[in-house]
Amino acid sequence: MEKGNKMSKFEHKYIYYPKDGHKRHMWTCVSSEGAARLRIVDYGKNSSPRYSGRLEFHKRAPVYANESLIPFWLSDVNNHERMFERMEQEYLKYFEDEEIGTANTLSQRKSNARLIAAAPDLLEAVHCLLGVIVSAKKDGRLDVYSKESYSITYSHAIEVSRAAIAKVEGNYARGIKQSY
Note whether residue 10 is domain-resident.
Answer: yes
DSSP characters for 23-76? EEEEEEEEETTEEEEEEEEE--TTSSS-EEEEEEEEE--HHHIIIIIHHHHHTT
Handedness of CA 102, 84, 170, 126 (dihedral sign): positive
Packing angle between helix 80-98 and helix 106-136, nearest 10 degrees?
80
Same domain (yes/no): 43, 68: no
Beta strands 51-59; 137-138: pairing state: unpaired
Same domain (yes/no): 114, 168: yes
Structural domain span for residue 93: 62-98
Per-residue pLDDT of the chain (180 residues; tens, 9 = 90+): 445 455 578 899 999 999 989 999 999 999 988 899 999 999 999 988 899 999 998 888 888 888 888 999 999 999 999 999 888 888 887 776 555 444 455 566 666 666 677 677 777 777 766 666 665 555 555 554 455 555 666 677 777 777 777 766 665 444 444 443
Note whether residue 180 is domain-resident.
Answer: no
The Cβ-side half-sphere exposure at 51, using a 13 Å CA radius, reads 6
pTM over 0.85: no
Note whether residue 31 is domain-resident.
Answer: yes
